[in-house]
Structure 1
């Protein structure tokens, strides 16, 4: 009975959606005469794509796909290169490698890209520096980041500043890193930037300020969706652990 009721509910949902959106009337025939299969097909091809336009739905789907098949984006990028040997496709491959945590390979790929015509844009140079930093080469990363002009988009510029702060901290230029962190920590969504700032403050022995940042991380984590928090869970748990010790 529950299954039957669910199928009826799905059928009604599909019919209402079809009428409200003035959809193809052939769907109505399929929904009526093939209630389960027709409704399921309509939901899959007509309703679900609309839901995927929602930012939270896209985020959840993206994370689910990454967990199930983390190499999918890399494979797709390689296939695209076979079809079209373009700079954009090589950049996508480097981006996919970086997103997968394979920064050694990504850095090599970016290194080949930036010597190509039009391959040394500030955006690509930033990605190159980020992968170099993740491989432990903070000095080379700084040589790339230092001359970059501020990005025209605030969110992109904040990410560049965050990387600069992290590099400076790694190079033990803590006061410079602290100034950058203090300026951007409230401008970047999520808890990653605040986590790096708190770690720097602990490194510098500024426990009172570090505690404030750790408390902010815990409060922000409580407001995040489960999907969002899962990505930053190591930061959240690190903050909780360190807060107990202060």
Structure 2
């Protein structure tokens, strides 16, 4: 039994040593971990590993999910309280974003529209939020017009994933002629599988057999790539992966 305890300490120390090397920590941590396996592992856990874990994307997502489960209205409540106390544009935008995230796009739209009528009407975050709220309330034409204002004032935003994909989706909702080009542009700057899946959904509805074949290819690419995704990527892209798999089994 004593040997088992010693082996466990060494295994833990080796694990933290690998973490230290991969995250490019100071090399003195290796000396501490191997010279004092138990003490060094405890110190490393609290000094380096735990703070890094708390800042990881997976930890943030899990924390947000737990908060939403326990107190789903917390973000809206806090944002509304701040806005009631000090009705600044920043607080109004924060409240609008919280409402949109909480599935209340109509009220969010009202706040974004109010903010857009003031001196911050050309603010990029405001325009993007306004377009998201318009799209969520089925006003795809309004979303297109808002995004075109955004792109006119900030051309580089055409190359960012969220506004580029939202623009393509809004055009698709109208059946606009520029939908294909907008989706192609969104693919070039996509940060996840959403653009591929949504483009494939659109292509699958087109009358051209070549478009439907490309849709099948895009779905297959998502399923294939998912085999190599790390855990956080699989969680982030779960909806798109499930949609791609479902599309593959459809006739």
Q: TM-score if structure 1 supplies the norm length?
A: 0.73
Cα distance change, pair 113–237 in 1 and its aligned pair in 2 (3 A): same
Distance 1:83 1:44, change over 3 A: farther
Residue 237 of structure 1 corresponds to 242
Contact preservation (8 Å) 1:201, 1:207: yes
**Selected match of 2:204 from 202, 205, 208:** 202
**Aligned to 1:149, what secondary structure does the other structure show?**
helix
What are the superposed Cα offsets for residues 85-139 of structure 1, whole Å, 9 maximum, x if unpaired? Answer: 3211111111111122221221111111111222442321121111111111112
Deviation at 1:231, TM superposition (A): 4.6
Q: CA RMSD in A?
A: 3.7
Aligned counterparts, 1:70-219, within 5 A: 70-149=72-151, 151=154, 157-173=160-176, 175-205=177-207, 206-219=211-224
What is the rounded CA distance, in whole Å, between the counterparts of 1:196 and 1:68 in structure 2? 32
The SS at the match of 1:136 is coil
Whole-angstrom distance in 2 between the partners of 1:72 and 1:114: 25
Q: How far off its partner does 1:226 sit?
A: 4.2
Task: Count matched residues.
Answer: 225
- TM-score w.r.t. length of structure 2: 0.72
Once residues 220 and 201 of structure 1 are traced to their aligned partners in structure 2, the CA distance between those partners, rounded to angstroms, is 20
Displacement, 1:197?
A: 0.5
> Which ranges of 4 or more aligned residues in structure 1 deviate by more than 6 Å?
42-46
Deviations 1:174-208 (A, max 9, x none): x4111121122142111111111001101113211
Cα separation, partners in 2 of 1:46 and 1:223, compared to 1, 3 Å:
closer
Gaps of 5+ in 1: 14-19, 22-31, 33-38
Q: 2: CA distance between counterparts of 1:60 and 1:187?
A: 26
Q: Kindly tell me: are residues 46 and 155 of structure 1, through their superposed partners in 2, closer, same or farther at Cα, counting changes over 3 Å?
A: farther
> In the TM superposition, what is the alpha-carbon distance from 1:242 to its structure 2 partner?
1.2
